[in-house]
Amino acid sequence: MTDDVAIRTHNLTRRFGKLVAVDRVNLVVPRAYIYGFLGPNGSGKSTTIRMLCGLLKPSEGEATVLGLSIPREAEALKRKIGYMTQRFSLYEDLSIIENLEFIAEVYSLTRTQRRERIAKQLELFGLQDRVKQRAGTLSGGQKQRLALAAATLHEPELLFLDEPTSAVDPQSRRDFWEFLFQLANQGTTILVSTHYMDEAERCHALAILDHGAIVADGTPKELEANINAHVIEIEHADLQAVRATLLRLPSVLSVTQLGVRLRVLVDRNIDDATGFIQRELLATSHAVEVHDARPSLEDVFVAATQLRKPEAAA
């Protein structure tokens, strides 16, 4: 049953006092998938990951990771997983090679394994010219490559990445994702939490978390197809006024300005969203052009997490 599934959870819940940090999360992550956790800060991404690593005990529910029951078999799991923290957490006052050797020792690799794998990682991540350089003096992108090299040195079956790209430039992010796909192609399952839509779009599948609960999940395509809102775009000279009018409508979920256009999410229960918006705007003497638009992952995210209109609420 667990052959093709890396992570399976049932009603996984974690409470901190009265706060429910993770609320009945049901997850199925197939092997060799890059699975994304997309959600705002405090949505329970890190807490879920920590529970899946066996660092935090769930208040309720069950989790099976790589066929091991968590948290009971957490110690055995530790050898099979890799974990890359949001912050660079290797030793800045040790050199690249010293950091990797330390990790190799900690995972009890044999002498041959140690030599071969370190050489392999250095080449793969383009660090072979800097082996003696202290980690603290590396650039953001280099640090991140080193962190990934260290996290995968013991060839884990499952890799947890907690917002791994929050401190690097776009080019390094692109490179980083190339590495992730290489790993996935070799059979490694990757669970990655992120803020970035473009990263979420590259995942095989993802879950959108809000206030500790999964509010939507599936492949990016599925999520876009099943968005629980109509997406329309409006062009007009006075976007500020139109925006103000729209925000007063209860069935408008969100209004975002994109250059000269407004992107509007409208309640799914409205049948003819384009016509509805046109009529509403005409009533306030705004003659506008309204088109239907193809939903993006960002629209899915906004529709799923931002059911309240922030401006109207304020």
Partner 1 sequence: MKSLRRIFAILQKEIRQLSRDKLTFGMIVGIPMIQIMLFGYAINTDVRHLRAAVADESNTELSRTLTADAQATQVVDVIAQVHTAAELEGLLRDGEIDVGIYIPSDYARRLQQHNRSAAQLLVDGSDPIILSAARQLANLTQHYDTEAPQQLRAALFEIRNHFNPERRSAVNVVPALMGVILTMTMVLFTAVAIVRERERGNLELLINTPVKTIELMIGKIVPYIFIGLLQVTLIVLLGMLVFRVPIEGTVLNVYLGALALIAANLSLGLLISTLAQSQFQAMQMTFFFFLPSILLSGFMFPFAGMPKAAQYIAEVLPLTHFVRIIRGVMLRGADLAHMLPDLRALLIFTLVTLTFAVLRFSKSLD
Residues near partner 1 (CB under 8 A) are: 53, 55-56, 75, 78-79, 81-83, 85, 87-94, 98, 102-103, 105-108
Shortest CB 177 distance to partner 1, Å? 22
Q: Which is nearer to partner 1, 13 or 254 (CB)?
A: 13
Shortest CB 102 distance to partner 1, Å? 5
Q: Are 66 and 205 in contact (CB under 8 A)?
A: no
Shortest CB 17 distance to partner 1, Å? 14
Q: Which is nearer to partner 1, 151 or 265 (CB)?
A: 151
Q: Which is nearer to partner 1, 87 or 248 (CB)?
A: 87
Phi, psi of 67 (to 5 degrees): 80, 0
Q: Which is nearer to partner 1, 37 or 83 (CB)?
A: 83
In this structure, the number of other CB atoms found within 10 A of the CB of residue 51 comes to: 27
Q: What are the tokens at 172?
A: 């390094």
In this structure, the number of other CB atoms found within 10 A of the CB of residue 241 comes to: 14
Close Cβ partners of 271 (under 8 Å, ≥ 6 residues apart): none
Alpha helices for 125-169 (secondary structure H)? 140-151
Q: Which is nearer to partner 1, 89 or 186 (CB)?
A: 89
Instruction: Name the residue among 199, 221, 186, 222 with its Cα closest to residue 32.
Output: 186
Shortest CB 138 distance to partner 1, Å? 15
Shortest CB 282 distance to partner 1, Å? 57
Shortest CB 85 distance to partner 1, Å? 5
Phi, psi of 57 (to 5 degrees): -85, 135
Query: In a 3-state reduction of DSSP, which class is residue 304?
Result: helix
Distance between CA atoms of 223 and 231, rounded to whole angstroms? 14
State the distance between the two ends of the chain, measured CA to CA, in whole angstroms: 49
Distance between CA atoms of 190 and 257, rounded to whole angstroms? 34
Q: Which is nearer to partner 1, 92 or 292 (CB)?
A: 92
Shortest CB 194 distance to partner 1, Å? 18
Lateral strand order in the sheet of 289-292: 252-258, 261-267, 229-235, 289-292
Q: Which is nearer to partner 1, 98 or 201 (CB)?
A: 98
